[in-house]
Amino acid sequence: MTTANIPSSPRVFAVIAGGGTAGHIVPALAIAEQLVGGGRAPRSIAFVASQRSSDAQLLAGTEHPRLLLNVDGLQRSLRPGAVLRTMLAVPKMVVATARATRQLRRWQPRVVVSVGGFASEPAVRAAGALRIPVVVVSYDRHPGLATRRQARKAAAVAAAFAGSTLPGAVHTGAPVRSDVRQVARDADGTASERARAASIFGIDPARRIVVVMGGSLGSRVINDAIERFVQKHSARTDLAVLHLVGERYMSESSPSSAGAGLHYVRRARHDVMADVWQIADVVVCRAGASTIAELVTVGCAALIIPWAQAADDHQRLNAHWLGANEAALVLEETDLELQFDRRLLAVIDDDAQRERLRAASRALGELNRSAAIGSLIESVAQ
pLDDT in the model for residue 252? 77
pLDDT in the model for residue 257? 58
Q: Could you tell me where the beta strands, DSSP code E, fall in the chain? A: 14-17, 45-50, 66-69, 111-114, 134-138, 156-159, 169-171, 208-213, 239-244, 263-267, 282-285, 301-304, 329-330
pLDDT in the model for residue 80? 65
Name the architecture of domain 179-364. Answer: 3-Layer(aba) Sandwich (3.40)
- Asked if 264 and 244 touch (Cβ cutoff 8 Å), the reply is no
Q: Which residues of the chain have pLDDT under 70?
A: 1-10, 73-78, 80-87, 185-189, 253, 256-259
pLDDT in the model for residue 83? 60
Which residues belong to CATH 3.40.50.2000 in the chain?
Answer: 3-173+369-381, 179-364
Name the architecture of domain 3-173+369-381. Answer: 3-Layer(aba) Sandwich (3.40)
pLDDT in the model for residue 7? 47
Q: Could you tell me where the beta strands, DSSP code E, fall in 270-345? A: 282-285, 301-304, 329-330
- Asked if 115 and 28 touch (Cβ cutoff 8 Å), the reply is yes
pLDDT in the model for residue 200? 97
pLDDT in the model for residue 81? 63
pLDDT in the model for residue 142? 84
pLDDT in the model for residue 8? 44
Question: CA 241 from chain center: how many Å?
Answer: 21
pLDDT in the model for residue 340? 97
Burial code of 86-123, b = ≥16 C-beta within 10 A, e = fewer? beebeebbeebbebbbebbeebebbbbbbbbbbbbbbb
pLDDT in the model for residue 204? 96
Residue type, 163: G
Q: What is the pLDDT of residues 269-291, one digit of tens each?
A: 998 999 999 999 999 999 998 89
Please tell me whether residue 213 adopts helix, strand or coil conformation.
strand
pLDDT in the model for residue 4? 38
